[in-house]
Amino acid sequence: MGGNMRGADQLTVHINLRRERTEHLPQQLVTQLARAIHRGQLAPATRLPSTRDLARLLGVSRGVVISAYELLLAKGLVESRPGSGTYVRHLQIDPTRHRRRALAAPARRVCDFTPGPAPTRAFPLAAWRAAWREASYQPPLDQTAPLGMPTLREAIAAHLRRTRGIRVDADEVVVASGLRQACWLLFEAIGQAQSVGRRIAVEQPAPAYPVLAGRQAGWTVGALPENAVPQQADAADVAVVFAEGNHPLGTVLTLDQRHALVDWAFRTGGYLVDINTEQASSGDGLPLPALFSLAGGQRVAMAGTIGDSLAPPGLAYLVIPRELTPRIAGLIGDDDGPVARTTQAAYARLLRDGVLVHRATRIGRLFTERREQVRAALDPVPHPVRVMIGPRGSTATLLLPQHLATAMVAQLAELGVAVTPLAEFYRVDPANSPAGIVLAFGHLPDEELRCGITAIQAFLAGLG
């Protein structure tokens, strides 16, 4: 499939699309048009043919040309003029530079689907400033609080009682310097409490911090399949799960699975560690009893964050069985050290005033809208691609054969779209992870998300 495209200045650009290439047709067209623009063969203000005319000339579907034009638009190489057509933009082009240099990087980063901080839209700046101002005025009293400031521990306990129905007292709460330290404290304390066994099974896929913390604590770390049944954890002394929302799949443990895991803990004498973050657990569906509640506060510990978009960096909490409290108190300070008192005081004020609850509700609504938007944009997908978007969180996972996943990551990178290979969430045994990519979208501005989805759609269209 080929043809000569004649622009307004009578410059001829040869387009050669080959179906047998691994590079999909929209991407081939984008590459060749971008090359012509960077070389100056398509001058600024050149009007491109209509999508219908170019499709007919090249012998491809109109959808191929539409996808290519949208990607060129996203890269900033062309502009659309309503009622007039698509035109080459005025760029600072050196027509003598080497072709490979011209194609080495996109005109700009179009979309970053890698995990990022929670969105900052409608940030409650006044409440944030008030909390930090009040905290900065407090004198440095009661410095000996290794488990966290009493006011913050009580605020966290009250928050969990009010929002999740978990009956927890302040003396069961520990303030930690981030989730990795929280996991490390738990693993060290449990290891001291148990006479034998230092084996952890971590739900996979998952973020890296529980695996890294387990290895740092000297435990043997194995994989626990997502939505695991207790039999798969029998070889472990500690099972780490994400009951309220797996990251990145967004799946939630059912009530039967929760009961089965609690039964496993009591039957084997093992411990469950349930990790819960706002970004992973914000979503749809009726709330289910927490593992900590089902176990009556025994054999189960919780690690989590509250108000991810407002929480100071490096602040997390633990809810622990009482028998572990003295051991964790002895460990605090051996790793990352305590969280600054001013930080704790400000966070306690934000919790106490309900700012974090209100913020979490808004973020939850945003994530629900985003999940539906991405689900609709990617439906249907061609065989053999599968899309997984759970009822929680702000990620989508595309499962596809390894050769397609590799090609997709590379071609999206050329367009300025960054994604994360699924293998990065299988830290226990990445070599045996399923092939796929992860799209984190909760932190993206609307326009950036739209451009990124357009690039994904163009790649998938080439598979059909």
**pLDDT at residue 96, rounded to an integer:** 44
Dihedral of CA 100/104/107/110: which sign? positive
Place of tokens 């039964």: 263
**Better-scored residue on pLDDT, 180 or 24:** 180
User: What is the residue type of 248?
Assistant: P
Taking residues 154-159, what's their average pLDDT? 96
Q: Is residue 317 over pLDDT 50?
A: yes
Taking residues 326-330, what's their average pLDDT? 91
**pLDDT at residue 159, rounded to an integer:** 94
DSSP label of 261? H
**pLDDT at residue 362, rounded to an integer:** 86
φ, ψ (nearest 5 deg) of residue 80: -100, 130
Q: Is residue 39 over pLDDT 90?
A: no
**Better-scored residue on pLDDT, 443 or 314:** 443
**Rounded CA separation 113/410 (Å):** 14
**Rounded CA separation 401/385 (Å):** 8
**pLDDT at residue 231, rounded to an integer:** 64
Please state the pTM of the whole predicted model: 0.76
Place of tokens 């050769």: 403
Q: Is residue 335 over pLDDT 80?
A: no
Domain ranges of the chain: 2-105, 112-120+359-461, 125-354
**pLDDT at residue 102, rounded to an integer:** 39
CATH topology of domain 2-105: Arc Repressor Mutant, subunit A (1.10.10)
Taking residues 164-180, what's their average pLDDT? 92
**Rounded CA separation 95/36 (Å):** 10
Q: Is residue 438 over pLDDT 80?
A: yes
Q: Is residue 12 over pLDDT 70?
A: no
Q: Is residue 310 over pLDDT 80?
A: no
Binning the chain into helix, strand and coil, the percentages to the nearest 5 are 45, 15, 40
**pLDDT at residue 315, rounded to an integer:** 86
The CATH architecture one would assign to domain 125-354 is: 3-Layer(aba) Sandwich (3.40)
Would you place residue 10 in the very low, low, confident or very high pLDDT band (cuts 50, 70, 90)? very low
**Rounded CA separation 200/191 (Å):** 11
User: What is the residue type of 392?
Assistant: R
DSSP label of 340? P
Mean pLDDT of the chain: 84
Lowest mean pLDDT among 2-6, 122-126, 378-382: 2-6
**pLDDT at residue 388, rounded to an integer:** 94
- Which CATH number applies to 112-120+359-461? 3.90.1150.10
Q: State how beta strands 2-6 and 12-16 pair.
A: antiparallel
**pLDDT at residue 311, rounded to an integer:** 65
Which helix H or strand E contains 36, and what residues bound it?
helix 25-39
Q: Is residue 94 over pLDDT 60?
A: no
**pLDDT at residue 142, rounded to an integer:** 57
Would you place residue 338 in the very low, low, confident or very high pLDDT band (cuts 50, 70, 90)? low
Q: Is residue 396 over pLDDT 50?
A: yes
Would you place residue 254 in the very low, low, confident or very high pLDDT band (cuts 50, 70, 90)? very high
Place of tokens 């994400």: 242
Would you place residue 16 in the very low, low, confident or very high pLDDT band (cuts 50, 70, 90)? confident
**pLDDT at residue 260, rounded to an integer:** 93
Tell me if residue 196 falls in helix, strand or coil.
Answer: coil
Taking residues 155-172, what's their average pLDDT? 94
**pLDDT at residue 95, rounded to an integer:** 45
Q: Is residue 221 over pLDDT 50?
A: yes
**Rounded CA separation 253/268 (Å):** 20
Where do runs of H (alpha helix) occur along 165-286?
A: 179-193, 209-216, 255-268, 278-281
Beta carbons of 233 and 224 less than 8 angstroms apart: yes
Tell me if residue 318 falls in helix, strand or coil.
Answer: strand
